[in-house]
Structure 1
Amino acid sequence: MVEPQPWIEGYLRAWESNDPDEIAALFAEDAVYYNEPYSMPARGRDEIIANWLAHQDKPRETTFEWHPVCLTDEVSVIQGVTTYPDKTYSNLWVIRFLPDGRCREFTEWWMEHDAR
């Protein structure tokens, strides 16, 4: 079983740095990244990097807390909360891993918390 913690720590470093090499290290060459279920995914590492950089957050703008919901040999389901200065999101990530720990498919669900 691939332990998700090192990958998520790498994802958080890449989220902070927006460094293309750190982003690339997370994903297989032919990985698929869905920003939301059933949307058109970014296909391939180069497209994933380009999409990430086109929608990047500023460093130290967010905090992310997470815990595993389900772990299998190839898939991790992660529940998280992303907090920005002006909004908060609940997240559900489905990460499909290769045996070497890189991601071959990533899908994220996100929902903004009610502002009330």
Structure 2
Amino acid sequence: MDRAAVEAWVAGYERAWRAPGTERLADLFTADAGYLISPWAEPLIGLTSLADFWAGGRDGPGEAFTMETEVVAVDWPNAVVRVEVEYAKDEPSRWRDLWVLRFDGDGRCAWFEEWPFAPRQPNGH
């Protein structure tokens, strides 16, 4: 997995989020993938849990948002991606994330860890 492969995976993730249904998740994630939506959450395990989360967490394929990404590091099988998303309807509307990813030998994500931050989010101090 090199930088170009990680960039292609991230582009596939965005296409899957924008597409109807959740069938594309199997192209991106392993069957038993772990998906951590914040550093303090219990991980979602498996495609069924991930599909349920996606179905409940988005407005559907017409959801208006922009997404900018930058692959920060790749050290097989791990990668770190900086993500900035702005949603048209949500509040907070802007998010900056770090994604910590671990891939299998087929280029599917076996572990997805998200560190989301919104403006004015308490910094814990």
Post-superposition Cα deviations, 1:52-89, rounded to whole Å, max 9, x if no partner, equal 11112442411110111111110110011101125211
Q: CA deviation at 1:48?
A: 0.8
| Structure 1 position 99 matched with structure 2 position 105 | yes
Partner of 1:69: 72
Query: Share of identical aligned residues, percent?
Result: 31
Partner of 2:12: 10
- Letter in structure 2 aligned against 1:99: G
Partner of 2:53: 51
| CA shift in 2, pair 1:18/1:113, >3 Å | farther
Post-superposition Cα deviations, 1:91-113, rounded to whole Å, max 9, x if no partner, equal 10011101111000001111112
Any stretches of 5+ residues in structure 2 without a counterpart? none
Contact 1:15–1:57 (Cα < 8 Å) also in 2: no
TM-score by length of 1: 0.90
Contact 1:24–1:49 (Cα < 8 Å) also in 2: no
Which residues in structure 2 correspond to 1:10-29 (within 5 Å)?
10-29=12-31
Any stretches of 5+ residues in structure 1 without a counterpart? none
Partner of 2:34: 32
Instruction: State the number of aligned residues.
Output: 115
Runs of 4+ with deviation above 3 angstroms: none
Greater Cα offset, 80-89 or 25-34 = 80-89
Q: Distance in 2 between matches of 1:66 and 1:10?
A: 12
- Indicate the SS of the match to 2:79: strand
When the two chains are superposed, the root-mean-square deviation of aligned CA atoms in Å is 1.7
Q: Distance in 1 between matches of 2:65 and 2:25?
A: 17
